[in-house]
A and B are shown apart, each in its own frame.
Chain A
Amino acid sequence: MTETEISSIFVSIFVLLGSLLSLVTTIGLLRLPDVYSRTHAASKSATLGVLLVLLGALLFFYKDSGLDARLILGIVFVFITSPVAGHLISRAAYYTNVPLWDKSVRDDLKNVSKEKRNRSAER
């Protein structure tokens, strides 16, 4: 097998896996019960899906124009910012009292925030 054939196989694997993960994200957004599990689906698998598609693009353009700095920067940028966005969305939902799924059993943050509120009330 020549070099281009091997690289095109890898490109197709990366792009297919990435689009599959994006599909998984969409199904997760539709099927999961509450905000927190939905942001869990949206931030994790969507990030990896985008990363894999970008990696495929990086490999695809490597043989023509070398490593594209913008794509590497895009990979690093999405990898940093997407989980932070998911964190902020679920955090904003929690502090505006969006209810958890009725079958969820543990809420560790509840006691912490209650303690904090009591402490600030004492002062």
Chain B
Amino acid sequence: MRTNDVVLKTATQLVTFIIIIFSIYVFLQGHHNPGGGFIGGLMTAAAIILIGIAFDIKTVRRILPFDFKLLTATGLLIAVLTGIGAFIFDATFLTHTYDYFYLPLLGKTELATALLFDIGVYFVVIGVTLTIIFTIGEDS
């Protein structure tokens, strides 16, 4: 029985933004504080699954109209490419480096190439989690 659950839908619309913004915050602070690609990816996946519970899997498919397995593949590709990128600068595989940049609004910021690797991890975790949950949850 599909009942009319307005309360859950309205709360979801509000809460999803908080979860996604907090997951990006956790993802970006992972270099210096607890957090990183894995837990950030899991939280983003949790927000998307919350939309799937409150509305429908069809709604999620309409919001994100691509195959989540492709997201996993893209993440793995990014992670491998950051490792191979070290060869260009005559270093060994997966050598990482960092430097300080002056960005507008943020000021002096430390940007590390480990962030690129972490973006790969982030995509892989989102892709794998959503593939598992939506494959189990979908009516065939």
Contact = CB atoms under 8 A, between A and B. Distances in A.
A12 interface: no
Contact of A84 (B1, B3, B7, B18): B7
B8 interface: yes
Interface residues of B, number: 10
B3 A80 contact: no
Contacts, number: 21
Nearest to A76: B18
A88 B1 CA distance: 15
A89 B8 CA distance: 11
Contacts of B11: 80-81, 84
Contacts of B3: 95
B101 interface: no
A73 interface: yes
Interface in A54-98: 70, 73, 76-77, 80-81, 84, 87-88, 91, 95
Contact of B8 (A70, A73, A88): A88
A80 B14 contact: yes
